[in-house]
């Protein structure tokens, strides 16, 4: 009986974007889904779109990833929807974002990582928002792609109750972004999960921390990529 009602509910669910038509693809109606700013031909180094000649002006040595992938360009209406997801706790959007991103990852035919690590939030931001948008995204992606998620491995310095909890070596390794690893890493292939990649500075900083610990293959995945100039 419950299944029956769930099916009725699902069939009546409305598009997460226009909230008018029925859902048809990843929570959107077909028209809205087709109109989304899909990132169709990304440069695997920097995640920005390739030009007409399938080239990019980025310098591969600046990008420590085997693939930097986003489902969308950070443009309307995706920017608006991500804002609602984060700032109005519209958590129903998370699974749609994860499905769209998983489709992009499969389309780009990249080998899948052994572990997903979400970008952690500072305790202040977490307290204000009530949830970590990158962690929720990583959880849904992990379910879709059958990859475990570790949300404790990478932490912000503020997450340690005090600096005393960090070893001397960890304190020395602290960098400007104030991330640190709370444990040793077993895996050699990891994807960093962020909601939006803007300049790439955050995911690059994390990649450098992982590289120092022997992670040889790193990907960076996000819902949307801001179209910055190289």
Does the footprint of Zn ion cover residue 29 (CB under 5 A)? Answer: yes
Instruction: Produce one character per residue of 19-44: b if its CB has 16 or more CB atoms within 10 Å, e if not.
Output: eeeebebbbbbeebbeebbbbeebbb
* Nearest residue (CB) to Zn ion, 167 versus 230: 230
**Least gap, CB of 22 to Zn ion (angstroms):** 9
Q: Which is nearer to Zn ion, 45 or 180 (CB)?
A: 45
Work out how close the CB of 178 gets to Zn ion at its nearest, in angstroms, rounded to a whole number.
Answer: 27
Residue 14 Cβ vs Zn ion, minimum distance, rounded to whole Å: 8
Q: Which residue has the tokens 């928002």?
A: 129
Is the Cβ–Cβ distance between 46 and 68 less than 8 Å? yes
Pairwise CA distance, residues 190 & 218, whole Å: 5
Q: Which of positions 40-79 make contact with Zn ion (CB under 5 A)?
A: 43, 45-46, 56, 58
The H-assigned helical ranges of the chain are 2-12, 30-35, 78-87, 92-107, 123-129, 133-145, 168-173, 201-212
Nearer to Zn ion, 63 or 179 (CB): 63
Nearer to Zn ion, 39 or 181 (CB): 39
Residues in contact with Zn ion by the rule CB under 5 A: 15, 17-18, 21, 29, 32, 43, 45-46, 56, 58
């Amino acid at each position: 009986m419950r299944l029956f009602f769930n099916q009725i509910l699902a069939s009546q669910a409305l598009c997460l974007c226009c909230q008018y038509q029925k859902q048809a693809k990843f929570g959107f109606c077909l028209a809205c889904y087709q109109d989304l700013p899909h990132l169709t031909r990304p440069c695997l180094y920097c995640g920005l779109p390739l030009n007409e000649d399938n080239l990019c002006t980025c310098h591969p040595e600046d990008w420590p990833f085997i693939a930097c992938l986003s489902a969308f360009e950070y443009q309307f209406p995706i920017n608006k929807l991500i804002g609602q997801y984060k700032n109005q706790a519209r958590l129903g959007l998370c699974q749609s974002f994860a499905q769209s991103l998983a489709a992009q990852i499969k389309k780009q035919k990249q080998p899948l990582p052994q572990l997903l690590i979400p970008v952690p939030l500072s305790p202040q931001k977490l307290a204000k928002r009530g949830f970590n948008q990158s962690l929720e995204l990583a959880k849904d992606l992990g379910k879709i792609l059958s990859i475990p998620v570790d949300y404790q491995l990478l932490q912000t310095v503020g997450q340690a109750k005090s600096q005393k909890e960090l070893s001397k070596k960890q304190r020395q390794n602290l960098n400007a972004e104030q991330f640190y690893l709370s444990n040793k890493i077993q895996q050699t292939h990891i994807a960093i999960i962020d909601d939006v990649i803007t300049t790439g500075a955050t995911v690059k900083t994390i990649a450098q921390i992982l590289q120092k610990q022997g992670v040889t293959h790193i990907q960076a995945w996000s819902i949307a990529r801001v179209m910055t100039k190289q």
